[in-house]
Each structure stands twice: as C-alpha cells, then as structure tokens.
Amino acid sequence: MDEKVVNLITEIKNVASLILEKDISNVRGFSERQVEAIAKQTIIIQKGVENGDIDKELKEFFLDDLEAMTTNFVNTLKGILSATIETVWNAIIDVLWKVIDSTVK
C-alpha cells in the first residue's frame, strides 16, 4: 500500500482514538455514578416495600420516579455519544481536508 495512504490511515485512527479515549473516560465516570444511584434507589424501594414502609400507592410513585431516572440516564448517554461521534467525524474531515489543501498549495 502507498506510504501516504498508510500514513493517512494512521493519522485518522490516531485522531479518532484520542477523542474516543477522552470522551469514553468521561462517559464511564458519568455512567458509573448514575448506575450506582439507580441501583441504590432500587434497593431502597425494595427494602421499603419489604418492611412495609412503602405501600402499593407509594411504590408506584417511586417506580415511576425510578423509570424517569433511568430514562434520563439513557437519554443523556445518547446525547453524549452523539456529540462524541460528531466530534470524531469533524476531526477526521479536518485531517482529510488538510491533506487535500496541502497538495493545492
């Protein structure tokens, strides 16, 4: 394979990897905190139902809240990942345009 092609492939992989490593690290921290909160909330509800502190009506209220919490978590993840994908796309396009522009000058 042509050396220029190999170098361009490497540069594209490097720029994408740098962005993904940084963003995935941020997502990992966020998701770990959120999953822990969702798990703790679930156990609190379970224990309250088990010991009778939470009746059927209150249980439904807490379950609705837990569902909303989980939905918000997933929607936030989708937004973060969508932004990450766009950042990677922009970075790759920037690399490609620089290569093209360097031949024009």
**Which pLDDT tens digit goes with each residue over 59-87?**
999 999 999 999 999 999 899 889 999 99
pLDDT confidence of residue 85: 93
Tell me the angle at which helices 56-104 and 3-51 cross, rounded to the nearest 10 degrees.
170
pTM for this entry = 0.74
The set of residues, in sequence order, having a beta carbon less than 8 Å from that of 80 and lying 6+ positions away, is: 23, 26, 27, 30
Task: Check: CB of residue 92 under 8 Å from CB of residue 12.
Answer: yes
Residue 5 in this model has a pLDDT that exceeds 80: yes
Task: Measure the CA angle with vertex 25, ends 23 and 31; round to 5°.
Answer: 100
Task: Answer yes or no: is pLDDT of 105 > 70.
Answer: no
Amino acid making up residue 85: I
| pLDDT one-digit tens code per residue, 16-65 | 888 888 888 878 888 888 999 999 999 999 999 999 999 999 999 999 99
Contact 36, 104 (CB under 8 A): no
